[in-house]
Amino acid sequence: MEENSKIINTILKIIKRIIPIFVFIFIAWILLHEIQNGIKNVEEKEVEKIQEKTENIEEELSKDLALINQAKEEKKEPEALTPKKEETKVIETPLPLGTDRFIVPLNSSNEIIANNLESNGYIKDKNKFLTILEKNTKDIASGAYKISKDMTEEQLNRVLTGNPYMKWVIIKPGLRKEEIAEILTNTLGWTKTEKEDWINKDTTTSPEYTEGVYCPDTYLIPIDEEPALVAKRLIYKFNENFSAYLPQFTAKNIKWARALTLASIVQREASNNQDMPLIAGILWNRLEQNMALGVDATLQYLRGDIGAGWWAPITVAEKQIDSPFNTYKYKGLPLHPISNPGIMAIDAVLNPLETECLYYIHDKEKNTHCAVTYEEHMANIQEYLVK
């Protein structure tokens, strides 16, 4: 009897030890099952999202293709200024007798400024002048200053820590004139009226001055220069930079207005300078095959800034707008340039990359992928935008 009791106790002890193990195994099995179901559900949802995204893109592209296939003929040739070598340069007001213009380049250090002053004979000891500059509570702004060799070091320091009478203005390629006006206003201190007049009057004296001729570059402009003269300054630079290209386009039987307008589109459509010849080649192919360009940039120009920026993405509804600037609905080029292109875009239009491609996309890393057929284009979208 006592022996049986010991056996029973031993069995009970074993059971007590085994039960937690079985419970643990059971719970682990349930958790594993739930995790597998969860992963499966997540995978199914991800697949659904990808399918939905693909369907949405395909639907939008189908609508775009339908618009392009139904596009009307180009209404009229675009207008743009032909560069002229003889264009008059803006003459700046002469400085007072005995006064020189001292230029402080962009991003200049005190060391560079002191070196320039010494090498041009305004100071004798750059190290001494550097000691004066180091005591200043205000950095010397880049720009141009009126100074004289008769000035003492203290007088020079006082002038250089004041406001320059000329300021640097950087205009990047691809801006429309409203964006340029904003830069000029912020830099030169224009009033709201001066800014609006520059957009609506000073740059609209003729249709060919509407857009495309306000040359991207780095300028040093007097802060009191009349806005109308600033426009002429930018146009002079346009003539200076692009007049050499005119005979080259003429030799290829390409009208300058078409070249400049296409360059303004290439400037906006290309992800970078390296891609410009490819984009130009594709757009030339579309034009030569009497196919609508179907680019968003022209519609962005037409719509303007309605709160999200001048070049915000285009909506499906905006692609239905009836305008020569809607290159989904109208073949050929818009009525005039849509931006102010740089030399790289002009050169790309003159020397496009030879390609059979008619379509292109930019992936998330801004790389360009082109396609010859619409089916290849859809495959690129699936590969580089959906996955």
Each of the 387 residues of the chain gets a pLDDT tens digit; together they read: 555 565 556 655 666 666 666 556 666 566 666 656 655 555 555 656 656 655 666 666 666 666 676 777 766 778 888 887 656 677 778 888 889 999 999 999 999 999 999 999 999 999 999 999 999 999 999 999 999 999 999 999 999 999 999 999 999 999 999 999 999 999 999 999 999 999 999 999 888 999 999 999 999 999 999 999 999 999 999 999 999 999 999 999 999 999 999 999 999 999 999 999 999 999 999 999 999 999 999 999 999 999 999 999 999 999 999 999 999 999 999 999 999 999 999 999 999 999 999 999 999 899 999 999 999 999 999 999 887
CA 384/CA 387 separation, integer angstroms: 6
Give pTM, 2 decimals.
Answer: 0.82
Q: What is the largest CA-CA distance in the chain?
A: 130
Q: Where do the domains of the chain lie, and which CATH numbers do they carry?
A: 100-160 (3.30.1490), 167-242 (no CATH)
Task: Give which of 62, 78, 82 is closest to 70, Cα–Cα.
Answer: 62
